[in-house]
Chains A and B, each alone.
Chain A
Amino acid sequence: MLTYIIRRLIGAVILLFIVSAVVFSIFFLVPRIGGATPDDLASRYVGKSAGTAQIHETAVKLGFTDPIYVQYGRFAKGIVVGQNYNYGPAVEHCPAPCLGYSFITQNPVLPDLLDRLPVTLSLAVGASVLWLGAGVATGVISALKRGSFLDRSSMGVALAGVSLPIFFTGLLSLSIFSYGLGWTAPGGANPMDATNPLDWAYTMILPWITLAFLFAASYARLTRAGMLETMNEDYIRTARAKGLRERDVVIRHGLRAALTPIVTIFGLDLGLLLGGAILTETTFSLPGLGQYAVQAITNNDLPKVLGVTLLGAVFIIMANLVVDLLYAVVDPRVRTQ
C-alpha cells in the first residue's frame, strides 16, 4: 500500500510538470508560432507611450528574447529551488516553490494565490457539505417513493438545478434574498473579513446554496439511480430476511452500496472546485481563485494564469489520488486485487 502511494505521488509530480509545460507552451510558445515577436509580447507590459527601445528592453528583462526552453527551464527551476528577479531598482528573491512574478503588479504569484485560497476553500467546502447532504437525501427519498408526487417534483427541481446556470440562479437569489429581503449579505463581501463563524456563514450562505443547488441536482439524480439499482439486489432481500428494520436496510445496506460511485465523483468535483469556482465567485464578487484567474486572463498576466492553472492541477491530481485510495476503503473487493 505504501509503495503504491509513493508510486502515485511520483506519478503526480511528473504529471504536474507535464501540465506546467503544456500550459507554459500555450501562453509563451503559441504566440511565437503565431508570428508574435518578443517585442510584441513585451508591448503589453509597458505603458502606451513606450518607444521601441523601451519595449525591447522590457522584452529582454522579462526573458522573452531567450529560447523557449530556457524560459521554461527558468520557470521550472523557480518552482524547485526559487529564483531571483530583477524588475526594478532592487533584486528580489522568490523562494521555492516560486511561481514567478506578475508582469503587471510585480507581486510574486504564490502569496497572492495563498491569500485567495481560503475564500475558495470556504466556498467549496461549505457548498459541498450542503450539496452532498441535500442531494443524497433527496435521491434516497425519491428512489424509495419512486413515481410519487414527491419523486416527480424533486426530480423536476433537480432537472432545473442542472440546467440553470449559476449566473442566473445566483443573480436571482441575490436580488431576492439579499437586496429584496435583506436576509443575507450582499455580493462582494469577503468572508475572510468575518470575525466569527456566524458572520462568515452569513456572508457565504447565498453562494453556498447557489453552488450547492447546481451540484445537489446531479447528486440527487445519481443517488436515485444508484438506490433504485441496489434496492433490487439480493443482499437487500437478505437484510430484510434477517428482520432488519427498513430504515437500516435502506441506509446500512442500500445506501452503503449506492454511495461508492458518489464518493468518487464527490472527490473529483471538490478537487475541481478548489481550483476556483469561476462563475460563482464572479457572480458574488468573491475574491477567490476563480476571480483571480479571470482577472489574470483579462490582463494577459501570464505568470498569474500559469500559477492559478498549476494550483488547480495540483488539486485535481490530489483529488484523483485521494479518490483512488478511498475507493479501496469503500469497496473491499478492490483491496485484495
Chain B
Amino acid sequence: MSTKATPRSTVPQDRPGPTPAGPFLQVRDLRVHFPTDDGVVKSVDGLSFNVERGQTLGIVGESGSGKSVTSLSIMGLHPPGTAEISGQVVLNDDNLIGASPEHVRRLRGKNMAMIFQDPLSAMHPYYTVGHQIIEAYRIHNRVSKQVARKHAIDLLDRVGIPQPGSRVDDYPHQFSGGMRQRAMIAMALSCDPELLIADEPTTALDVTVQAQILDLIRDLQQEFNSAVIIITHDLGVVAELADDILVMYAGRCVEYASAHEIFTQPRHPYTWGLLGSMPRLDRERTERLKPIPGAPPSLINVPNGCPFHPRCAYAQLTGGASETQLPELVETSPRHFLACHLSAQDRQRVWDNDIKPSL
C-alpha cells in the first residue's frame, strides 16, 4: 500500500489554515513536558494545527518525535501529575487544556475517539468484543443492553466483520489482527465521534490488511463527516488519506502543508529524507533507499539551533545559523509552513539538482 506516493487529485490546494468559521479542532502552541529525574523531556514543544470536519490531517515523524504524545494530550489521556501541558486544544469552541478531567472524560468516546496501534493489547482480553463495544456505547447513551447489543452488531457489520451476529460474542484473541483492528474501529465509532484520532492504525497489521483498514477509515469518515487525525511514521499511509500533512521532528512542526504540496514540493530537508526513505514500486529499482543518517535526538537534550542540524546534509549552507538559532515556523507560500534556515535560492537549487531527480 505504501507504494503510491502520488496524492489524490481531489485534494484542495488551498489548505491548511484557519477558515473564517473557526476551525473544528484547533491546537495552539501545545507544549507537553515530562519532568523526570534526568531532566525535562520536551515531548511536544509548541505545536499548532487545525482540522476541519470531513478533513484528514496526517501527522508524520519518526518514533519519539512526539506524535503519540500529541494525540494523547488532545484526548486528555496523560495520567494526572505526569505531564505539564500548556497551550490550547479547542474542540468546537471548547478549550480542553485546563478543563476539568470530568468534562474531558464526558467528551472522550463521544465527541472524540481514538484507534490504537496494537489492537490485541488495546482490547481487554477477558471481555468479548461485543461487551467492549456495548460498554463504550452505554457510557454515553442511556439505552438497554439489548439495544446496545444490536448497535454493536450493526457496527461490526459496517466495519466489515462477517457474521457479526455470532462474532459479537467472540473474545479478541479469537479475531485475526485485521478483524481486531476493525472491531477497534467499531468501538471508536460507537458514539459517532466528530473527531477520530488514529495512532499508527495499520502498523501492527499485514500489508494486505493495511489497505483495507485505510479504505475503511476513509469510507467511515465520509459517512460520519468526522475530522480525522492519522498519526504515522509511514508517508505511504497518509498519501492515501490525508488532506494536510504535518511533519514533526523532536516535538516540533518542521513542515505543514497540503498533502499535495508535501509530495510535490517538499521543502524541509527532513521531509526530503522521509520521502527518500520510502520504498517505491512505481520506479525502477536502480538505486538504494536513502535512509536519514543518525537517530532522532534525545528530547531531554535537544540540540541547539535547528534540532535537525546534526543530521542535515545541508546545514553548512546556512552559515552557522542552524547551529545557534531555532528556525521559526513561517508561511513560505500560501498555506505552506516551514521551519528551516536554508535560503530560498539554496533550497531551490538543492531541490532541483539533488532531491527531485532521485525521488
Closest CB in chain A relative to B94 CB, distance in Å: 15
Instruction: List chain A residues, Cβ under 8 A from B105.
Output: 240, 243, 245-246
Contacts A244-B135, A257-B124; A237 near B174 (Cβ below 8 A): no
B116 x A238 contact (CB < 8 A): yes
Closest CB in chain B relative to A323 CB, distance in Å: 17
Contacts A241-B109, A241-B114; A235 near B121 (Cβ below 8 A): yes
Interface presence of B122 (CB below 8 A): yes
Instruction: List chain A residues, Cβ under 8 A from B139.
Output: 242-244
Q: Complex formed: what's the CA distance from A51 to B118 in Å?
A: 83
Contacts A235-B123, A331-B126, A332-B171; A243 near B109 (Cβ below 8 A): yes
Q: Complex formed: what's the CA distance from A239 to B136 in Å?
A: 8
Among A233, A243, A333, the residue within 8 A (CB) of B107 is A243
A332 x B124 contact (CB < 8 A): no
Interface size class for chain B? Answer: 20 to 34
B116 x A257 contact (CB < 8 A): no
B107 x A239 contact (CB < 8 A): no
Q: Identify which of residues 240-274 in chain A touch chain B, using a CB-to-CB cut-off of 8 Å.
A: 240-246, 253, 256-257
Contacts A332-B125, A332-B171, A336-B174; A242 near B75 (Cβ below 8 A): no
Q: Number of contacting residues on A, CB 8 A?
A: 21
Q: Complex formed: what's the CA distance from A242 to B107 in Å?
A: 9
Q: Complex formed: what's the CA distance from A206 to B238 in Å?
A: 67
A interface, by DSSP: helix, strand, loop or mixed?
helix
Closest CB in chain B relative to A195 CB, distance in Å: 44
* Total CB contacts across the A-B interface at under 8 A: 72
Closest CB in chain B relative to A289 CB, distance in Å: 36
Interface presence of B158 (CB below 8 A): no
Q: Complex formed: what's the CA distance from A256 to B110 in Å?
A: 25
Q: Identify which of residues 81-119 in chain B touch chain A, using a CB-to-CB cut-off of 8 Å.
A: 105-110, 113-114, 116, 118
Closest CB in chain B relative to A301 CB, distance in Å: 49
Q: Complex formed: what's the CA distance from A336 to B128 in Å?
A: 13
B140 x A243 contact (CB < 8 A): yes
Query: Nearest B residue to A237 by beta-carbon distance?
Result: B77
Contacts A234-B116, A333-B171, A336-B174; A240 near B126 (Cβ below 8 A): no
Q: Complex formed: what's the CA distance from A240 to B102 in Å?
A: 12
Instruction: List chain B residues, Cβ under 8 A from A240.
Output: 77, 105, 108
10 other contacts beyond A233-B121, A234-B116, with CB at 8 A cut-off? A237-B122, A238-B124, A238-B184, A241-B75, A242-B136, A244-B135, A244-B139, A257-B124, A257-B126, A336-B171
A sample of 28 cross-chain residue pairs with beta-carbon separation below 8 angstroms, ordered by A number, consists of A234-B116, A235-B121, A237-B77, A237-B116, A238-B187, A241-B77, A241-B113, A241-B116, A242-B109, A242-B135, A242-B136, A242-B187, A243-B105, A243-B106, A243-B107, A243-B110, A243-B136, A243-B140, A244-B139, A245-B105, A256-B126, A257-B124, A257-B125, A257-B126, A330-B126, A332-B173, A333-B171, A336-B174
